[in-house]
Each structure stands twice: as structure tokens, then as C-alpha cells.
Structure 1
Amino acid sequence: MRSIPAAPLALGLAGLLPFLWGAACVLWPDLAMWTARAVGPRFAGPYVQLSYGTVILAFMSGVLWGFATKAEGRQAAVGYALSVIPALWAFFMVGAGPVSAAMNLIFGFLGLLLLDWQFARWGLAPRWWMTLRVLLTAVVVLCLLPVAFG
């Protein structure tokens, strides 16, 4: 963890807050009710996780696209094609009900981790990238489990 620069680590950890808050609201219904009254129902329970998770998968497509710009030729073309998968996954697979959406987000984030690994393997991501991505993905998946299997 010491190899991860402070800014990406801090921002990555801060980005976990909606997932952690959503999991807490699922596990403690009184917190969900308080949240719904205080700031609105879309910030409580699985709703905050599912909408934010969809946004993050799309955002990560942009990150991968940025990595692909470092490649050339066939590798660049493959990198660009792979980079759009998380956004397309979120668009087509996250919807329906909360259980299905949470399961599809779990699969989406695990698939994203494989894409992260590939871009790192190609030397297109920073050396510390996989350390950060494994940590963030593990927390996201753990936070989505109560919705998927609640």
C-alpha cells in the first residue's frame, strides 16, 4: 500500500463511501429510514450502491481508455475495445431489481479487475495500480453481497 501515491489512494478510499454507506443501510434498516428522511431515498440502501456502482463502471472505462492511449497498433485497438466493456456492461446488465443489479455489478467489478490486470500486464497502468484495484474491488464486492444475497 505504501507504493500507491497518496492522492489516488485517498480518492479511491473516498470512492468506497457510497458502497459502505449502502451496505450499512441494508444491514441496519433504521439507518436506511433515517437516510431516506434526511437526504432522500436514493441515498439509502441498495439504491446508492447500484446507481453509484453503475457510474463507477462507466468511469473505469474512461480510465482504461486512457491506458489504451499509451499503446500502439494492434495492442491499442484491443485496448480501446476492452476499455468500453465496463460501461457497456453497466448499461446493459444493471437494471431490473436490486438483487439482479447487485449480482451484475459484482460480476462487472470482478471483470473490470481482470481488465485492470491485463492493462497492467501490458505495462500500460502504473506499477501500483493492481494493489489499489484489488483493495477497492474487494471492498466493493463485499459491500454488494448483502444486496445480492440479502
Structure 2
Amino acid sequence: MMQNSQRLTVLLTVCGALPFYLAQLPVLDEATRLYAFLSYGAVIASFMAGTLWGLVQARERPPLSAIAISNGFALAAWASLLMPAGRLALAVQAISFIGLLATDRSLLSRALEKSWYFALRLRVTLLVLAAYGLALLTFA
């Protein structure tokens, strides 16, 4: 049976993918939608990098590589906002989401791979990457 905190985590995680799709609805001009998409992507990638940072810091001996990698992903998200809005910025963010998932899997724990949380992360990352694929078709 799923605990309340687990249910809430699933709900918030899945709902967190919705703005990637909502930003692509043609209710505003294309430049505004692309900016909304990229800014939300940068926020979420930075949030995930911060989550990684926190998980790593909780270890008795945090791996230095994971600390550096979490900062690298946050900086990549920020840098994507400094680029001209378009394919490169979208690609940087999409690659960051792939990298964050891979880092969770490889640097934190193989046990994480078998957890309900990792299964959720994998599914939602795939949803987000599908939104980036759609954005590459829509905005470029």
C-alpha cells in the first residue's frame, strides 16, 4: 500500500511534467511560449540538481564527482537561458535531464534503480523528454 507521502510525491512529480506541455499550447505567441518552456525547464533541471546535491550530501563520505556534477547540471540549466532561445538551448536542457537521471542511477546507488522512486523518475523523465522532442518540432 502506498503511503500518503509517496502518493503526494507521485502526484506532484507527474503534475510537474504538465507545464512542459502547457507551454506549447498556442495561446500565446511563439517566443513567449518558448521562453516559458525554457525557463520552466531551467527551474526543474536546477531543482533536480539540487535534489541530487542533497542526496549526496547526506552520505557520510559524499563522492566529489557527484557534488561537481550536480553543480554542473545547475549551471548548464542557467547557461541554457543565456543562449539564444532555440534548438541549442532545448538540447542542452534535454541532455541535462538525461544526465540527471543517469547520475541518480549510477552515482547514488544501484538500490535506487529498484525503488518506486527511480521507476517514477524514469517515467517522468521520458514524459519530459517527449515534451522536448515536441518542442524541437514546434519551436525550431
Percent identical across equivalent pairs?
Answer: 27
**What residue number does 1:16 align with?**
17
Q: State the number of aligned residues.
A: 135
Q: Give the CA RMSD over aligned residues.
A: 2.7
1: distance between equivalents of 2:134 and 2:68?
Answer: 32
Q: Which one of 64, 70, 77 corresponds to residue 83 of structure 1?
A: 70
Say if 2:23 and 2:37, in contact at 8 Å, map to a contact too: yes
SS at match of 1:5: helix
Q: Which one of 116, 121, 137 corresponds to residue 104 of structure 2?
A: 116
What is the deviation of 1:21? Answer: 0.6
| Residues 1-150 of structure 1: pairs in structure 2 closer than 5 A | 5-23=6-24, 25=25, 29=26, 31-32=27-28, 42=32, 45-73=33-61, 75-94=62-81, 95-121=83-109, 127-150=115-138
Say if 2:105 and 2:112, in contact at 8 Å, map to a contact too: no
What is the deviation of 1:83? Answer: 1.9
For normalisation by structure 2, the TM-score amounts to 0.80
For normalisation by structure 1, the TM-score amounts to 0.75
Q: Return 2-11 or 106-115, whichever deviates more.
A: 2-11
Say if 2:35 and 2:85, in contact at 8 Å, map to a contact too: no
What is the deviation of 1:125? Answer: 8.6
Segments of structure 2 that go 5 or more residues without pairing to the other structure are none
Q: 1:80 to 1:90 in 2, by over 3 A?
A: same
1: distance between equivalents of 2:58 and 2:9?
Answer: 19
